[in-house]
Amino acid sequence: MRYRVEVHVDAHTRLKAMAEDVLRGLSERPRSLPPKYFYDAVGSRLFDEITRLPEYYLTRAEDALLDTLAPALMHTLGPRDVVELGSGFSLKTRRLLDARGGGPLRYTPVDVDETTVAASAERLLAQDPGLEVHAVVGDFERHLVHVPAPSGRRLVLFLGSTIGNLDAPARQALLGQVRGLLRRGDRLLLGVDLVKDPSVLEAAYNDAAGVTAQFNRNILHVVNRSLGADFRPEAFRHHAWYNAAESRIEMHLVPEAPQTVRVRSLDLTVRLEPTESIWTESSYKFTRASARAMLEATGLRLDAWHTDGRFALAVAAPMSRAAARAPRAIA
């Protein structure tokens, strides 16, 4: 059997977690909804469309960097075990796996959507006789403990600027777990978007065709359907801006007029005012220095940095125990 799957989330547990998240987010000030709820079938399709927009440079920039880097990375590292967090359709993975030039390799995609994981695995396996897939269906912030013991030299992939959705404490928690998956000689390949001219960043999240606005409003359709809410998505304005002090794009939904929303499953009624937006996403931007500091805080060392000036792929290695204990002596 070249395909194994472990499922650590079920529909009921996911719905319960969503109910808690939405209750907390809508009760707090500022009001917020977690960005992981953008991605139902419609949201995933809209995001896919975003990746092809002229203003959204991130995906193209990362793909080009991966194409350039893949052969050298795969040959010098020679991984036998690839773990990918938030693997989705594993589109970028193909590029990396192909670059190894055959040979046995176990791929462990970690993603919440079993259907997507299974379809992607089937496609990869059909084209790659040396491949074995051990999928972990779950939330990468909670279920990394279920990643199997390494089958050899390991490469962990966390691509696409997905880390940008996490605030500093959540990033530290996640990278700490990733550190735990690595042994000497193993590597993490991390895709981060870079701090740059705010007009370029803001254009990427305010495309002319309005796809990002639709993607943003889709989270309200998801909450309506899943929790029996009656948001009127079309009555919200998409607002995305670069918060330079925090190095992040913030996406918000602003009610055009006062709106009373009922969330049946939560037995919750909220009154929304145009002065109070719902904060739906943060997308953090990094510099080489801030990425390095983030890695070092969790016992990872920045081993290589590949960039086109807009986006970067960081290669990180686990620090030795002694180096992780000692504060950095020389900057």
How far apart (Å, rounded) are the C-alpha atoms in residues 112 and 116? 9
Binding mask 266-285 for ligand AVJ (x = CB under 6 A): ---------------x-x--
Establish if 181 lies at the interface with ligand AVJ (CB under 6 A): no
DSSP letters, 161-219, are: TGGGGS-HHHHHHHHHHHHHH--TT-EEEEEEEBP--HHHHHHHTS-TT-HHHHHHHHH
Q: Minimum distance from CB of 56 to ligand AVJ (Å)? A: 7
Nearer to ligand AVJ, 34 or 180 (CB): 34
Query: Measuring CA to CA, how many Å separate 18 from each of 42, 231, 268?
Result: 18, 16, 14
Sorted by sequence, the CB contacts under 8 Å of residue 114 that are 6+ apart come out as 5, 7, 137
How far apart (Å, rounded) are the C-alpha atoms in residues 270 and 292? 42
Q: Which of 26, 58, 124, 315 binds ligand AVJ (CB under 6 A)?
A: 58
Q: Which of 205, 231, 236, 279 binds ligand AVJ (CB under 6 A)?
A: 205
Establish if 135 lies at the interface with ligand AVJ (CB under 6 A): no
Q: Minimum distance from CB of 204 to ligand AVJ (Å)? A: 7
Establish if 174 lies at the interface with ligand AVJ (CB under 6 A): no
How many other β-carbons are positioned within 10 Å of the β-carbon of residue 28? 10
Nearer to ligand AVJ, 179 or 252 (CB): 252
Nearer to ligand AVJ, 108 or 212 (CB): 212
Q: Which of 90, 93, 161, 214 binds ligand AVJ (CB under 6 A)?
A: 161
Is-contact 253 280, C-beta < 8 A? yes
Peptide bond into 30 cis (omega under 30): yes
Q: Minimum distance from CB of 171 to ligand AVJ (Å)? A: 13
Q: Which residues pair with 194 in a beta bridge?
A: 286
Establish if 247 lies at the interface with ligand AVJ (CB under 6 A): no
Which residues, numbered 209-228, are part of the site for ligand AVJ (CB under 6 A)?
212, 215
Nearer to ligand AVJ, 215 or 236 (CB): 215
DSSP letters, 10-79, are: -HHHHHHHHHHHHHHHHHSSSEE--GGGG-SHHHHHHHHHHTTSSS--HHHHHHHHHHHHHHHHHHHH--
Nearer to ligand AVJ, 128 or 250 (CB): 250
Q: Minimum distance from CB of 214 to ligand AVJ (Å)? A: 11
CA angle 88, 206, 139 (to 5 degrees): 25
Sorted by sequence, the CB contacts under 8 Å of residue 27 that are 6+ apart come out as 268, 270
Is-contact 2 125, C-beta < 8 A? yes
Which residues, numbered 12-51, are part of the site for ligand AVJ (CB under 6 A)?
50
DSSP state of 303: E
Q: Which of 25, 109, 164, 299 binds ligand AVJ (CB under 6 A)?
A: 164
Nearer to ligand AVJ, 77 or 91 (CB): 91
The two tokens of residue 143 are: 């279920």
**310: three-class secondary structure by DSSP:** coil
Establish if 160 lies at the interface with ligand AVJ (CB under 6 A): yes
Q: Minimum distance from CB of 282 to ligand AVJ (Å)? A: 8
Nearer to ligand AVJ, 165 or 177 (CB): 165
Establish if 253 lies at the interface with ligand AVJ (CB under 6 A): no
> Which residue has the closest beta carbon to ligand AVJ?
283
Q: Report the interface residues with ligand AVJ, using CB under 6 A.
A: 50, 58, 160-162, 164-165, 205, 212, 215, 281, 283
